[in-house]
C-alpha cells in the first residue's frame, strides 16, 4: 500500500513531545518529509527519532506565537524540500486553572498569543505558500474540547481554543477555491507534556485509573490516537472535510454532565 503522505512536506509545531511527537513519527512513516518546531530542545530528539526510523526531518527551536519564527518554519520547508503541503499548528500552553477573577491580563495575553495567534500565523504564512504553489494543501490546528464547552480547562485556555475552532471555519471560507483545507483537532484529556503534571499527580496518589472516567470510554487518550486523526485530516482521506472541528475525546463532548442513573430510575 502506498504511504498516505508519500512525497509531501509537512510542518509540525509542538513537536517536542506528546501529540506533536507522535504525529511526526506517524507522518514520517507515511512518507512525509518534516520540518519540526518546538520551544524546547526536545524537538531535536523527535527529529532524531524520525531519522533513525528512516524518515527525513529538520528540527527548529522556535516560538509558535512569534511571526518571524513561523515565517522561518515555512521558509525552511521551501528551502530544504522545495514545497509545503501540510501544516499542523499543534503548539499550545495550558495557562493553569485560575478563575476569571484570579487570572491576569498578562496570563490571558500569553495564552492567546501562543494558542490562538500562533495557529493564525501558521494559516497566514503556510496558507499563503500553499496558495502560491497552486496545488492545494491541508492545515490542521489543535483546538480542544475545552473550546466546545466549559469544564475542560481554565478560562484563558478555553477561550483560546474556542477561538481556534472559529478561526478554522473563517479561514476555510477565506481560502475558497484554493484547494487549501483548514480543520481543527479537538483532543480530550490526553497524556502529553502539557498534561504531565495531572498524570504524574494521579500516579503518585495511585488514582491513575480515575483519569478520563467522565467520558464513555472511561479512559484518557494517548498521543498516537490523536496522531491518527491528524493524519486523516492531513491526507487525501479527508479530501472533502473542510472548516470542521473534530472532537477526539472518548465521547466526552457528546453530552452535558449528568448524574448516572441506575436501571429503573427516572431521569431528572
User: Which of the residues are catalytic?
Assistant: 157
Report the interhelical angle of 18-29 vs 223-234 (nearest 10°): 50
- Please answer whether residues 17 and 26 qualify as being in contact, where contact means their C-beta atoms are separated by less than 8 angstroms: no
β-bridge pairing 86-89 and 137-142: parallel
- The 3-state DSSP composition of the chain as helix, strand, coil percent (nearest 5) reads 45, 15, 40
CB 60 within 8 Å of CB 40: no
Phi-psi region of 206 (alpha: psi -120 to 50; beta: other; left: phi over 0): left
Judge contact between 30 and 237, C-beta under 8 A. no
11: nearest Cα among 175, 171, 138:
138
Contact 64, 12 (CB under 8 A): no
Give 51-104 as a DSSP string: HHTT-EEEEEE--TTSHHHHHHHHHHHHHHHS---EEEE----------TTT--
Amino acid at each position: 500500500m502506498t504511504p498516505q503522505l508519500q512525497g509531501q512536506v509537512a510542518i509540525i509545531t509542538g513537536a517536542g513531545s506528546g501529540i506533536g511527537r507522535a504525529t511526526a513519527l506517524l507522518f514520517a512513516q507515511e512518507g512525509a518529509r518534516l520540518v519540526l518546531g518546538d520551544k524546547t530542545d526536545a524537538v531535536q530528539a523527535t527529529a532524531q527519532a524520525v531519522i533513525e526510523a528512516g524518515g527525513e526531518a529538520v528540527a527548529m527551536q522556535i516560538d509558535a506565537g512569534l511571526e518571524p519564527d513561523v515565517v522561518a518554519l515555512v521558509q525552511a520547508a521551501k528551502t530544504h524540500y522545495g514545497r509545503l503541503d501540510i501544516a499542523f499548528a499543534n503548539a499550545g500552553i495550558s495557562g493553569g486553572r485560575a478563575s476569571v477573577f484570579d487570572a491576569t491580563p498578562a496570563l490571558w495575553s500569553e495564552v492567546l498569543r501562543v494558542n490562538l495567534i500562533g495557529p493564525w500565523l501558521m494559516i497566514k504564512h503556510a496558507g499563503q505558500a500553499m496558495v502560491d504553489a497552486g496545488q492545494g494543501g491541508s492545515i490542521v490546528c489543535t483546538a480542544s474540547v475545552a473550546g466546545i464547552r466549559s469544564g475542560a480547562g481554565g478560562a484563558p485556555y478555553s477561550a483560546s481554543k474556542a477561538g481556534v475552532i472559529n478561526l478554522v471555519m473563517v479561514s476555510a471560507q477565506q481560502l475558497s477555491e484554493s484547494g487549501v483545507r483548514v480543520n481543527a483537532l479537538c483532543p480530550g484529556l490526553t497524556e502529553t507534556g502539557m498534561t504531565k503534571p495531572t498524570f504524574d499527580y494521579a500516579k503518585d496518589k495511585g488514582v491513575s485509573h480515575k483519569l478520563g472516567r467522565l467520558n464513555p470510554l472511561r479512559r484518557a487518550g494517548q498521543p498516537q490516537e490523536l496522531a491518527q486523526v491528524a493524519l486523516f485530516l492531513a491526507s487525501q482521506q479527508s479530501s472533502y472535510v473542510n472548516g470542521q472541528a473534530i472532537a477526539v475525546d472518548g465521547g466526552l463532548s457528546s453530552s452535558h454532565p449528568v448524574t448516572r442513573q441506575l436501571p429503573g430510575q427516572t431521569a431528572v
